[in-house]
Amino acid sequence: MANNGAVRLDLDGKPIKPITICMIGAGGFIGSHLCEKLLNETPHKVLALDVYNDKIKHLLEPDTSEWAERIQFHRINIKHDSRLEGLVKMADLTINLAAICTPADYNTRPLDTIYSNFIDALPVVKYCSENNKRLIHFSTCEVYGKTIGSFLPKDHPLRQDPDFYVLREDTSPCIFGSIEKQRWSYACAKQLIERLVYAEGAENGLEFTIVRPFNWIGPRMDFIPGIDGPSEGVPRVLACFSNNLLRREPLKLVDGGESQRTFIYIKDAIEAVLLMIENPERANGHIFNVGNPNNEVTVRQLAEMMTKVYSKVSGETAIESPTVDVSSKEFYGEGYDDSDKRIPDMNIINRQLGWNPKTSLWDLLESTLTYQHRTYAEAVKKATSKPVAS
């Protein structure tokens, strides 16, 4: 455990000093796992900021928690709260996880998406820069947009050349669709805040690290519509497919499920974040891809795999037609567009932090779907069972 008295060393063999971390968005999927990791394995303190705390309630129980002294929850909406600067000042490091990051919202709520990911993040960057506080800013792999290869003819041999599709932090361009394709509102806002963070570093000496997550997957991700989220809500692909499996409905494949993605287990990804937190000299000034290039599948293959894994963990046989094709317009509305492939280059994070992901796609799906089944199966059954007429 964290306080066993052993001196913890960084990657260069220096003792790690306990710090205070201001974590914005601590109540979300990534924040909840990062809080657990920090409290279980380090002596650091966490100022946990969020509007909701359902996913970290188990860490905030005053009687049962041996780490009650090391985590404080502050119910804050960073849009308009005068307490934010004071909390940034109290900490040594600020981690900003707050974002609207659900593709279904990029088309239907483009203004909220742009404000949340750019305008609302501005004060955080400003307070860190003005008060000489280190910042770890969470961006997205979506800033890369489309691959260079996607503009070549479908059968062009260069499409198979890694130079045309592997995404590198320091050399790959950011290629978005036209303005009418509002799906890029998120990526564009995220790219602009990255440029601002980078500029604060260059002009004002802000110590920063930017994280570009590539589909982090695991327990507590997103929500199940009608159970712990809005009935009409459309979460990201893993929770969407989980919802279909729990309800014994076909998994909806947008535009045939041809897009290729890589998926990484949340616990692997959090290891990488902890290395960034505790090795500032190696992480400052860097942008890091955090993903698992070994876990690449098309969305259709993901659906087939999840169907098999869910049958195993639930003991239920799959339905007769496990998938159904839908158009992106039907599923996401007008203005949807997509990136073809997202394969992260891992050289920079490997060189700076010696980090590599470990968990296979099958194992991370088994762990996640076991959690989904245990957490939601009964609630979904109750919600879908019709009352018997008397």
Question: Token pair for residue 200?
Answer: 């604060």
- Cα 327 from Cα 342, distance rounded (Å): 21
Pairing status of strand 208-213 against strand 260-262? unpaired
- Cα 84 from Cα 164, distance rounded (Å): 42
CA atoms within 13 A on the CB side of 340: 14
Contact by Cβ (8 Å): 29, 223: no
Q: How far is CA 3 from CA 21, 44, 64, 279, in A?
A: 17, 10, 17, 20
Which member of 144, 186, 310, 376 is catalytic?
186
- Rounded to the nearest 5°, which phi and psi values hold at 12? -100, 10
Judged by DSSP in three states, 21 sits in strand
Tokens 């203005």 -> residue: 335
- Cα 238 from Cα 223, distance rounded (Å): 10
- Cα 133 from Cα 92, distance rounded (Å): 6
- Cα 24 from Cα 124, distance rounded (Å): 9
186 a catalytic residue: yes
Q: What angle do CA 309, 214, 338 make, to 5 degrees?
A: 90
Q: Which of 92, 105, 123 is nearest to 18 (CA)?
A: 92
Q: Which of 293, 289, 264 is nearest to 353 (CA)?
A: 289
Contact by Cβ (8 Å): 16, 9: yes
Residues with catalytic function: 186
